[in-house]
Amino acid sequence: MDMIVDPWFYAVAVPAVLLVGLSKGGFAGGLGILGVPMMALVISPLQAAGILLPILIVMDLIGVWAYRKSFHLKNLMIMVPGAAIGILIAALTASYVTDNFVRLLVGGIAVAFALDHWIGRRAEAAPKQVNQTKGTAWGAVGGFTSFVAHAGGPPFQIYMLPQKLDKRLYVGTSVMFFWAVNLIKVPPYALLGQFEITNLSTSLMLMPLAPIGMWLGIKALDLIPEKPFYRFAYMALFLVGCKLVWDGATGAFLT
């Protein structure tokens, strides 16, 4: 069975997959966005994305079961159709839009949103209500950026965090949203050749880590109180945004 055998790849990929599972299981995917950049230290970003997608889908299935009674259906009914539109646009423009452009765009928005939350004292504001226009728009952005650069977390957080949902409801909604997004991504990824035998074999090798990471995240969520959870979520959004800006800028201007 063809698969990656480089030990340096697994030295990076194992903690990357565990981090993604931990993040998806308990922190609404906030730091899971670092999985592909970590793996891209030793393989191409495109190959890293192809290897990770089947693992993400398995994690999603575990998350769907764990949070099957804790999700915000109205938000999902608004955001998922928007995400489908974003994925379609990304698939049709895949040869024109660069990963670095998307990283800069999403990272800049994420950093600005987190700074506005802190400087504008948004934490003290009343919870925002469900908004169909904003939900569809941010869902579309999330679908687009998830397809191009596996960077769908920040757009989701920008729309959902101001609603100040119960932490379990928030994480469950994230799990359901990205389960749908990842399933919608499968056909266009297949058409782009992302599921060739080496990638799938390597995904299978790493697959046992999926339930371990998810279990750690689900258990961690139960131990963290509401206010520290949201403080962590905004900090994660800010740090991930900085990471995306750095990756986009260095990729665009220094390579």
Phi, psi of 15 (to 5 degrees): -65, -30
Helix/strand/coil for 147: helix
| Closest listed residue to residue 2, CA positions, set 158, 203, 138, 193 | 203
pLDDT digits (tens, 9 = 90+) for 151-197: 788 899 889 999 999 999 999 999 999 999 999 999 998 998 888 88
pLDDT of residue 106: 79
pLDDT of residue 232: 81
Please check the confidence at residue 145 and state whether its pLDDT lies above 90.
Answer: no
> Average of pLDDT values for 14-26?
88
> Average of pLDDT values for 194-204?
90
Q: Which residues contact 240 (CB under 8 A, 6 or more apart)?
A: 30, 31, 33, 34, 107, 110, 153, 154
Domain boundaries, the chain: 7-253
Alpha carbons 229 and 221: distance in angstroms, whole number: 8
pLDDT of residue 55: 94
Angle at 220 between CA 109 and CA 17, to 5 degrees: 65
Please check the confidence at residue 26 and state whether its pLDDT lies above 70.
Answer: yes
pLDDT digits (tens, 9 = 90+) for 206-238: 999 999 999 998 888 888 887 888 888 888 878
Tokens of 244: 């995306």
pLDDT of residue 81: 98
Please check the confidence at residue 27 and state whether its pLDDT lies above 80.
Answer: no
Tokens of 38: 């970590």
Tokens of 150: 């596996």
pLDDT of residue 30: 63
Helix/strand/coil for 136: helix
> Average of pLDDT values for 35-46?
78
> Average of pLDDT values for 86-109?
86
